[in-house]
Structure 1
Amino acid sequence: MTTHTEERYRVRPRVWIGLVIYFAYVAVVFSVQKLSGIPYTDLDESGGNLFLGAGLSLIIAAILLALTTTLLGWWRPALFDRHRAAHKWPIIAPAIMVVALILNLASTDWGAYDGAFFAASIVLLLVGFTEELTTRGLLLVGLRSRLPEVWVWFLTSALFGVMHLINAISGQAIGATLQQVMLAFGGGTIFYILRRVTGSLIWAMVLHGFWDFSTFALGRGTPGPLFAAGGFLEIVAIIVALIGVAFVIRGADERIPSVAVATP
């Protein structure tokens, strides 16, 4: 198996590169959504609103991120860890989140969906690819070139939460946005644990995409009686993750050393 030491990147990983990619992603998504003229609170009114106000920005961001990752030569370290975490039990947190996701889908008022809205909703699955590749992918690679793993976890999770502040600028109430930021920090910790335990970011991308799809689906129509149970399990998953994250960080050897840049 090729290790980070043996790899040769087109561009050597640096903290500032990861941060530039993060802020560029936020800027692109915010700009495209702002140009649509559709407030965040109106996304669930129609399939057109959802696609233009959210889906289009994700499509553009996904293309730009794929190009950026290819040009940097960072696909392997962005998607895969060198070693899986020694402690596997923290996978309980993502498992609880999966149960909450199923409850969310079971509580969704599917009768309130039409074909156009459902099609636009499917595009939202891209958020798992874009936000994970940005934070726990490329940003993580940049941070690992310099910082201990505890800071890699904290900063990728914190900046993932801060990313959601743009929803307040797009029309969401500040109180609801701050709550979303805190939940996103917890969710980011769950996705980080999933990466460390499985050794791959791909599972976090999948869970993230379907989680956002399920939570947004609840806002369409009238949610069923299991709605509260899903929200309760989300909090339980976050608490378990905040306890378990120390165990997946312990003994982690994921620092990306300085290596020669690949020649064309």
Structure 2
Amino acid sequence: MSADRSDASSAVVTRSDSGWPGFWNRGGWWRAVAAVVVYLGLYLGFGWVLGRTVGGAVHRGDLFSDALSVFIAVALPVIFGSAVLLAFALSVRWLPRPLFGRQPVRGSWWMWIAPAPIVVTILLRVFGSDWGSYSGGVIATTFLAGIFIGISEELLTRGIVVTLLRRHGYREWAVAVLSSLIFALLHTSNLLSGQSLLTVLPTIGFTFGFGMMMYLTMRVTGSIIWPIVLHALTDPTTILATGGIDVSGTNTSPLLTFAGLSTFVFLAFALIAMIVIRGNAHGRAAAGEPERHTAARDAGTPVNGVTQ
């Protein structure tokens, strides 16, 4: 990984933090992995507790037949996960910045392409879904769950993981790839719920491409808020279009057929982005500072020791 780092051998931490915040402020890929593993353990553990205590209210054979079933099985775990991540962010003093602050490195004009196919895919699923097959309560609860899916998964991967990688000095193309890979590998946990490997592998491909699109959206909009919004709309519309979580579904609407091609679109654009992504937020990310739009930087002159 040393080739992907800035010229500094370790993160430049300008704050006087020590102890718990100081440990995380030094960043690094292994800290990012550790944070994700601990979060995943807590998330799965909470789901296990729910299954033991109120699992009888969940309709395993038809999860989305009842609003209470959706709330317990889908919404409650991600609400818990969001609370855990926000508590962690508060403990290391990353709220509101850097997690919800302005991005420390500016996005290029071509990155505006990234949100477009996501919005198109959401609309295809909205107009192609059989909404009449669900009750109003199930639809509302699924979208409620979507809000917290967006918060938890984006806060974890595009927030905490990206911040840890940047603070250790990785250049932005490595930040994009590593954070998207971690996001994709998170979904291997579906194996624990009984999904087959043949189902999980395509999900990993889709989530890697989707993760890259979310990273680019965050860069070009300058905020993690927009990836959260798009993610919060993507998951519930996908779930209600297919009738389940990470399944292909049986709806034969041609609109959903086109929506299914999004995996290939996301992966193709992700591969292109991996070649052309530039930038290095090291220094500003360590200080939690927003990017300074100066004539010197725009001319290619280093700003705070960072060349774009």
Determine if the TM-score, normalized by the shorter chain, exceeds 0.5.
yes
Provide the alpha-carbon RMSD of the alignment. 2.6
Is contact 2:149–2:232 with CA below 8 Å preserved after alignment? yes
Match of 1:186 among 187, 209, 214: 209
Q: Match for 1:99: what amino acid?
A: V
Question: Offset of 1:121 from its aligned partner?
Answer: 0.3
Q: Does residue 227 in structure 1 map to residue 256 in structure 2?
A: yes
Question: Offset of 1:222 from its aligned partner?
Answer: 3.9
- Summarize the Cα distance change of 1:171–1:7 in structure 2 as closer, same or farther, 3 Å threshold: same
Residues 67-146 of structure 1 aligned to structure 2 (within 5 Å):
67-75=87-95, 76-79=97-100, 80-85=102-107, 87-125=108-146, 126-146=148-168
Tell me the equivalent position of 1:151.
Answer: 174
Q: Does residue 239 in structure 1 map to residue 268 in structure 2?
A: yes
- Summarize the Cα distance change of 1:204–1:131 in structure 2 as closer, same or farther, 3 Å threshold: same
Question: Offset of 1:9 from its aligned partner?
Answer: 5.8
Whole-angstrom CA distance in 2 between matches of 1:254 and 1:145: 6
Q: Does residue 164 in structure 1 map to residue 187 in structure 2?
A: yes
Tell me the equivalent position of 2:281.
Answer: 253
Unaligned runs of 5+ in 2: 1-11, 244-249, 288-308
Match of 1:34 among 36, 48, 58: 48
Q: Which moved more, 1:12-21 or 1:160-169?
A: 12-21
Whole-angstrom CA distance in 1 between matches of 2:252 and 2:17: 48
Give the number of equivalent residue pairs. 255
Question: Offset of 1:31 from its aligned partner?
Answer: 2.0
- Summarize the Cα distance change of 1:223–1:34 in structure 2 as closer, same or farther, 3 Å threshold: farther
Question: Offset of 1:170 from its aligned partner?
Answer: 0.5
Whole-angstrom CA distance in 2 between matches of 1:97 and 1:108: 16
Q: Secondary structure at the residue paired with 1:218?
A: helix
Whole-angstrom CA distance in 2 between matches of 1:169 and 1:195: 31
Q: Match for 1:215: what amino acid?
A: T
> TM-score, normalised on structure 2?
0.74
- Summarize the Cα distance change of 1:39–1:242 in structure 2 as closer, same or farther, 3 Å threshold: farther
Question: Offset of 1:43 from its aligned partner?
Answer: 3.1
Q: Secondary structure at the residue paired with 2:99?
A: helix
Whole-angstrom CA distance in 1 between matches of 2:211 and 2:230: 11
- Summarize the Cα distance change of 1:109–1:17 in structure 2 as closer, same or farther, 3 Å threshold: same
Whole-angstrom CA distance in 2 between matches of 1:244 and 1:159: 17
Q: Which moved more, 1:39-48 or 1:15-24?
A: 39-48
| CA displacement 1:84-137 (0-9 Å, x = unmatched) | 12x211321221111011001111111011133123202222111100100110
| CA displacement 1:128-186 (0-9 Å, x = unmatched) | 11001001101111111214222211211011001001112112222111110111011
Structure number with bigger Rg? 2
Is contact 1:145–1:258 with CA below 8 Å preserved after alignment? yes
